[in-house]
Amino acid sequence: MTAQIIDGKAFAATVREKVAGHVTRLKEENGITPGLAVVLVGEDPASQVYVRSKGKQTVEVGMNSYEHKLDADTSEEDLLALIDKLNNDPAVHGILVQLPLPGHLNEDLVINSIDPAKDVDGFHISNVGLLGTGQKSMVPCTPLGCLMMLRDHHGSLSGLNAVVIGRSNIVGKPMAQLLLGDSCTVTIAHSRTKDLPEVVRGADIVVAAVGRPEMVPGDWIREGATVIDVGINRIERDGKNKLVGDVDFESASKVAGAITPVPGGVGPMTIACLLANTLTACCRANGLAEPDGLTA
């Protein structure tokens, strides 16, 4: 079997198109322009790249982008004051504080100071609780993107066995909650899981979010399973820098029914879902119907 490639780049483009269409209608019919504020503290090069990319794509779908770049030694008090200002600004519908923050800042405190209704990353403790109890929430962008691709591929996920490898707060746990919400039978595997290959072999859906290059080989994958590879790992091969996932694409794509590549799979969906979440937050803030197919 040769797996169908789930093209995250193309899928993300359709999500952005949908968002842009809704934004146009919001402007024309309601006179509202969704706004996303991104806060970056310090000069971490990777964070700078992400923030630039987020700002660019926000503007491309017709939303307002507000970038706040603060010095690495910004005090917690000043950062919290900025967040308070953004919480109270009606032109700002989504707030994202780029992580990681410099060591002297308490990430939990900062994230939990964002108005949960504007928490487009879905990391606020209220949103975590709402998702965990199956209520309407803001959903973390990467797992939301994975869910959208899985729904698109399978239609209904009901009754499928899903194995999520990784139990982080930003990917593994919310991914498992979302799959449970769609009535999958969910197993969360992690570094202490016994006989991981056998656990993975039981899965109709495998989501790998580990951060270990090509850790999941093809012989762990059940024939015809759907494989979503969240991992982004930089390695050196044949003297060249290369980006690979947590799944060994070469061998897994011979067994799986469908698989996301790295790059070009889950990665592009993350920012597309950030834009979708900003649109959702804007619609909710204004008491308007939420866009179809862009939420969990």
Q: Which stretch binds ligand NDP (CB under 6 A): 35-43, 86-94, 118-126, 183-191?
A: 183-191
210 is a contact residue toward ligand NDP (CB under 6 A): yes
Annotated active-site residue 136? The verdict is no
- Residue number closest to ligand NDP, CB atom: 168
Part in contact with ligand NDP (CB under 6 A); list of ranges 34-42, 97-105, 127-135, 160-168: 160-168
Between 183 and 191, CB nearer to ligand NDP: 191
Q: Is 54 a catalytic residue?
A: yes
Q: Which of 39, 41, 196, 207 forms a contact with ligand NDP (CB under 6 A)?
A: 196
Please state, in angstroms and rounded to a whole number, the distance separating the CA atoms of residues 160 and 250.
25
- Among 250, 273, 258, 203, smallest CA distance to 228 is for 258
Contact segment (CB under 6 A) with ligand NDP among 26-34, 54-62, 127-135, 264-272 equals 264-272
190 binds ligand NDP (CB under 6 A): yes
State yes or no: residue 231 binds ligand NDP (CB under 6 A): yes
Q: Does 166 bind ligand NDP (CB under 6 A)?
A: yes
Q: Is 187 a residue that touches ligand NDP (CB under 6 A)?
A: no
Among 34, 35, 143, 172, binds ligand NDP (CB under 6 A): 172
Q: State in angstroms the smallest separation of the CB of 262 from ligand NDP.
A: 8
Neighbouring residues of 28: CB distance < 8 A, sequence distance ≥ 6:
none
> In whole angstroms, how far apart are CA 248 and each of 154, 226, 227, 257?
23, 14, 11, 15
Nearer Cβ to ligand NDP, position 63 or 262? 262
Among 70, 99, 130, 232, the residue binding ligand NDP under the rule CB under 6 A is 232
Strand 233-237 relative to strand 240-244, pairing? antiparallel
One-letter amino acid of 48: Q
- For residue 220, the surrounding DSSP H or E stretch is none
Query: How near is the Cβ of 29 to ligand NDP at its closest, in Å?
Result: 33
Q: How far apart are CA 275 and CA 175, in angstroms?
A: 19
Q: Is 153 exposed, middle or buried (0-12, 13-18, 19+ CB in 10 A)?
A: middle
Question: Does 191 sit near ligand NDP (CB under 6 A)?
Answer: yes
Look up tokens 């509202």; give the residue. Answer: 32
Phi-psi region of 114 (alpha: psi -120 to 50; beta: other; left: phi over 0): beta
Task: Tell whether residue 168 is a contact of ligand NDP (CB under 6 A).
Answer: yes
Question: What is the C-alpha to C-alpha distance for residues 249 and 218, in angstroms, rounded to an integer?
Answer: 8
20 exposed, middle or buried (CB, 10 Å; 0-12, 13-18, 19+)? middle
Count of residues touching ligand NDP (by CB under 6 A) = 25
Annotated catalytic, 98?
yes
Q: Give the CA-trace dihedral at 94, 171, 146, 151, to 10 degrees.
A: -100
Shortest distance, position 124 Cβ to ligand NDP, whole Å: 17
Contact set with ligand NDP (CB under 6 A): 142, 165-168, 170-172, 189-193, 196, 209-212, 230-233, 266-267, 270
Enzyme catalytic residues: 54, 98, 121
